[in-house]
Amino acid sequence: MTTPNVPKLEKVMTMAATIDPPQQVGDDLSIYNVPGGTILGDGFTAAIIAPSADWARPVSASVIGLDVRLSALTETGRYLYLTYSGRVVINDEVAPKMVSGEEIQGSEMYFTTNPVVKTNDPDLLG
C-alpha cells in the first residue's frame, strides 16, 4: 500500500487592510473599498493601493461569500495583484462592527479562501 502525498501549507505573507464602510448596493451585495494596508512577506513588504475592494454577497444568515481583488506596491516599486474568493463566517459581535466600519481583527472571524497572487517582481517569482 502506498502512502498518499499530503500537501503542506506554508505561510508566505501576512496582510492587514483598512476597509471602508460598505457601499450597500442591495440586500445581496456590499462593496467594501480597501483604501490601504500592508502585506508583509518573506523578504518583501508591500502597500495596498487603489484599486482594491471586496465584493461581499450573503450565502446564509451568518456566512458571506467573498470576491476580493487587491493591488499592492512593493518597497522596490513592483506590483502585486491578489485575488481570492471564499467564505467568512460572521458572528453576532462582528456584524454590527462591519456595518459601522469599526475595526475588526481577523481572529474575530473564520475565513476560508483561495488566494492567487501575481507579480511583476522577478525576485518574488518562484
pLDDT at residue number 29? 97
% of the chain exceeding 70 in pLDDT: 99
Mean pLDDT over each residue of the chain, to the nearest integer: 91
Q: pLDDT tens digits for 48-94?
A: 999 999 999 999 989 999 999 999 999 999 999 999 999 999 888 88
Residues 30-38 have a mean pLDDT of 96
**pLDDT at residue 98, rounded to an integer:** 74
Does the structure show a pLDDT above 80 at 126? no
| Domain range annotation of the chain | 13-119
The pLDDT tens digits of the residues spanning 94-120 come to 888 877 777 888 788 888 898 999 999
CB 84: neighbour CB atoms within 10 A?
A: 17
47: left (phi over 0), alpha (psi -120 to 50) or beta: beta
What is the Cα gyration radius of the chain?
Answer: 16
Fold of 13-119: Porin (2.40.160)
Q: Which of 7-11, 45-49, 70-74 has the lowest mean pLDDT?
A: 7-11
pLDDT for 25: 96
DSSP code of 120? S
Q: SS3 of 97, please?
A: helix
For residues 1 and 71, the model is more confident at 71
pLDDT > 90 in the chain, percent: 60
E strands, the chain, are 13-18, 23-26, 29-33, 36-41, 44-58, 63-74, 79-89, 110-119
